[in-house]
Amino acid sequence: MFSKPSLERAWVLALGLATTGSLVAAGPCDIYASGGTPCVAAHSTTRALYNAYSGRLYQVKRDSDGKTTDISPLSAGGVANAAAQDSFCASTTCLITIIYDQSGRGNHLTQAPPGGFKGPEANGYDNLASAIGAPVTLNGKKAYGVFVSPGTGYRNNAASGTATGDAAEGMYAVLDGTHYNGACCFDYGNAETNSLDTGNGHMEAIYFGDCTSWGSGSGSGPWIMADLENGLFSGVNPRQNTGDPSVSYRFTTAAIKGRPNQWAIRGANAASASSMSTFYSGARPANGYNPMRKEGAIILGIGGDNSNGAQGTFYEGAMTSGYPSDATENAVQADIAAAKYVVTPLTSGPALTIGSSVSLRATTPGYTDRYLVHNSSNGIVTQAVSSSSSSSALKQQATWIVRSALNNNNNNNGNGNSGCVSFESKDQAGRYMRHYNFALQLAADDGTKQMREDATFCPLAPLNNGQQQGGSTHSIRAWNYPTRYLRHYANVAYVASNGGGVHPFDAAASFSEDVSWFVGAGFV
Active site residues: 229, 305
Taking CB under 6 A as the criterion, the residue among 227, 316, 335, 424 binding ligand AHR is: 227
Provide, rounded to whole angstroms, the least separation between the CB of residue 16 and ligand AHR.
Answer: 38
Cα separation of 432 and 435, whole Å? 10
* 314 and 210 Cβ atoms separated by less than 8 Å: no
* Residue 232 is a binding residue for ligand AHR (CB under 6 A): yes
Q: Applying CB under 6 A, does 307 fall inside the site for ligand AHR?
A: yes
Amino acid symbol at 53 = Y
Nearest residue (CB) to ligand AHR, 249 versus 367: 367
Q: Which stretch binds ligand AHR (CB under 6 A): 25-33, 138-146, 313-321, 482-490?
A: 482-490
Residues 518/469, Cβ–Cβ less than 8 Å: yes
Site residues for ligand AHR, 406-435, by CB under 6 A, read: 435
Backbone φ and ψ for 492, nearest 5 degrees, come out as -115, 150
- The reply to whether 126 sits near ligand AHR by the rule CB under 6 A is no
Q: Which of 185, 298, 380, 460 binds ligand AHR (CB under 6 A)?
A: 185
Q: How far apart are CA 152 and CA 32, in angstroms?
A: 29
Distance CA 244, CA 255 (A): 12
DSSP state of 47: B
Query: Minimum distance between the CB of residue 196 and ligand AHR, rounded to whole angstroms?
Result: 8
Q: CB-wise, 275 or 382, nearer to ligand AHR? A: 382
Identified binder of ligand AHR from the candidate list 80, 163, 184, 402, rule CB under 6 A: 184
Out of 126, 197, 210, 295, the residue judged to bind ligand AHR by CB under 6 A = 197
Nearer to ligand AHR, 401 or 433 (CB): 433
SS3 465: coil
Residues in the chain: 524
Among 170, 258, 303, 501, binds ligand AHR (CB under 6 A): 303
Where is 309: in which H helix or E strand? none
Name which position in 436, 444, 465, 467 contacts ligand AHR (CB under 6 A). Answer: 436
Nearest Cα to 250, choosing from 227, 278, 222? 222
Please name the residues in contact with 18: beta carbons below 8 A apart, sequence gap of 6 or more: none
Choose which of 1, 23, 429, 490 interacts with ligand AHR (CB under 6 A).
490
Asked if residue 305 binds ligand AHR (CB under 6 A), the reply is yes
- Spacing of C-alpha 323 from chain mean position: 27
DSSP string, 500-516: -SSSGGG-STTHHHHTE
Residues 326-365 as x/- pattern, contact with ligand AHR by CB under 6 A: --------------------------------------x-
CB nearer to ligand AHR: give 21 or 366.
366
Distance of CA 208 to the CA centre of its chain: 12
- The DSSP line for 231-299 is -EESSSSSSB-TTS-----SSEEEEEEEETTEEEEEEEETTS-PPPEEEEEEPPPSSS-SS--B--EEE
Cβ contact 374:442 at 8 Å: yes
Instruction: Report the Cα 418 to chain-centroid distance in Å.
Output: 15
Phi, psi (deg, nearest 5) at residue 86: -60, -40
Which listed residue (8, 295, 454, 506) binds ligand AHR by CB under 6 A? 454
Question: Does the footprint of ligand AHR cover residue 312 (CB under 6 A)?
Answer: no
Contact between residue 209 and residue 247 where contact means Cβ atoms under 8 Å apart: no
Site string for ligand AHR, 360-399 (x = CB under 6 A): ----x--x--------------------------------
Which residue in the set 59, 130, 230, 390 belongs to the binding site for ligand AHR (CB under 6 A)? 230
Of the pair 227, 295, the CB lying nearest ligand AHR is at: 227
What is the rounded (10 degree) CA torsion for 405, 245, 318, 28?
100
Are the beta carbons of 195 and 305 closer than 8 angstroms? yes
Q: Specify the residue, 25 or 508, whose C-beta has the smaller distance to ligand AHR.
A: 508
Is 1 a binding residue for ligand AHR by CB under 6 A? The answer is no
Residues that bind ligand AHR (CB under 6 A): 184-185, 197, 227, 229-232, 303-305, 307, 364, 367, 435-438, 450, 454, 480, 488-491, 510, 514
